[in-house]
Amino acid sequence: MQQFDVVVVGGSISGTLAAISAAERGLSVVLLERKKIPGEKVFCAEGISQSSYHYFFEKNPRWISTEINQVSLFSPSGRGVRIETPGAGYILERRVMERDLWVIAAEKGAELRCGVRVLDIGEWDGEGREVVTSDGKVWGRIVVGADGIESLTGRKTGLVRGLYPGEYHATLQYFAYHPSIEEDTAELHAGPFAPGGYGWVFPKGKGYGWVGIGVDTAKKSGNLRDLLKEFIRKRFGNIKIIFISGGGVPTTPLRKRTTDGVILVGDAGRFAIPVSGGGISHALYTGKLAGEVASEVLEKGPATAKRLSIFDKRWKREWGKEEKWYFIAKKIYMRMKDEDFEILYDVVKKLFEGKKIREFHPFEAVERILKASPHLLKLGKKLLGGYHGI
């Protein structure tokens, strides 16, 4: 049985960043991915803020489909407001990005194994854990679980249980063509077609883009495909569908993401923005952090739960208040009715229409919105003052 310093389960962006981060620090790493081809399937709408992207990477035209310079927000009645946001974000080309990251991981020294399913994670033996796969067994001093929202790594090691309705959003989207999809404009839509969530149009260029909905599973009524069709009828009438994608997005954080010999990253560790479901930036951050922590911990001895807890502490130091703030925002969002969104639309239009927003600070923006409306203030007073008051 081969032994490694780090066994990474799951080869999407969080797992690949963990492998790169650990390997470039001199650790022996094996990356296990059940898909035969990296980036074979994409389950998200591929959006990321430019600031988050450039925290990790130089600009790579191969990885970017479009640059977002405007955001259009739509109320349930269909009223729209356009906000100029120069340099706000990118819509990625994740298939290319993930495959390129695999090449980088290999160049850093990680061993890559595609088409390998992980079947079981063994008990902590005081030094590491055995990982049972469809291609035999390996052993790692640390196992990094990057295996998605239904993480086998998390379930087998007691860090996560199954998700209940309300703890995640169900998503469905089409990669589609319509001439009205603007290349530099992201659209966000509130309405009955996305209870507890929203609809989106994220452009990929030349009239193509992701058209989808995310629905809170505690409020979902009806078939997702029917709800998406309702959104499409309202926004487009008809579109040319190329292919379909969907899945689940965690919207409820975990208290901890580590135990003896295990670190969970990305969706496996429920690292996503609770109110929006956005998870790419958190996947990149936690993957990189896992490699850094693995290197530091293994220099001192076995990767016990106590030693690995520095991963949780660093996450909370950097993002903990923001995560808690967004979770409160999610619970408030869940209580909002269509008439609340119409009031929200009026306030946003008054505050932001026709203005260029070069840097978006969500806490300050929410504070301005709430203070501008007594009705919204009553709903969201817990968010006043941003996350500094949490």
The residue extents of the domains of the chain are: 2-42+94-162+252-328, 69-90+165-250, 334-389
Task: For residue 342, give both structure tokens.
Answer: 């119409």
Q: For residues 175 and 183, what is the distance between their CA atoms, to the nearest angstrom?
A: 14
- Dihedral sign, Cα of residue 387, residue 215, residue 41, residue 250: positive
Contact, 324 vs 363, CB < 8 A? no
pLDDT one digit per residue (tens) for the chain, 390 residues: 999 999 999 999 999 999 999 999 999 999 999 999 988 888 899 999 999 999 999 999 999 999 999 999 999 999 999 999 999 999 999 999 999 999 999 999 999 999 999 999 999 999 999 999 999 999 999 999 999 999 999 999 999 998 999 999 999 999 999 999 999 999 999 999 999 999 999 999 999 999 999 999 998 778 999 999 999 999 999 999 999 999 999 999 999 999 999 999 999 999 999 989 999 999 999 999 999 999 999 999 999 999 999 999 999 999 999 999 999 989 889 889 999 999 999 999 998 888 888 777 777 778 788 777 788 778 777 776 655 555
Collapsing DSSP states into helix, strand and coil, what is residue 204? Answer: strand
Q: Which fold has domain 69-90+165-250?
A: D-Amino Acid Oxidase; Chain A, domain 2 (3.30.9)
Do 2-42+94-162+252-328 and 69-90+165-250 have matching folds? no
* Distance set, CA 354 to CA 32, 45, 163, 262, 324 (Å): 49, 27, 42, 49, 32
- Dihedral sign, Cα of residue 143, residue 147, residue 151, residue 156: negative
Tell me the residue type at 251. Answer: T
What's the pLDDT at 386? 59
What's the pLDDT at 356? 87
* Distance set, CA 115 to CA 9, 10, 38, 266, 331 (Å): 12, 11, 10, 20, 39
Contact, 71 vs 81, CB < 8 A? no
Q: For residues 149 and 133, what is the distance between their CA atoms, to the nearest angstrom?
A: 19
Number of Cβ within 10 Å of residue 5's Cβ equals 20
DSSP letter at 382 equals G
- pTM of the entire structure? 0.95
Architecture of 2-42+94-162+252-328 per CATH?
3-Layer(bba) Sandwich (3.50)
Collapsing DSSP states into helix, strand and coil, what is residue 245? Answer: strand
Q: What are the backbone dihedrals phi and psi of residue 354, each rounded to the nearest 5 degrees, phi first? A: 80, 0
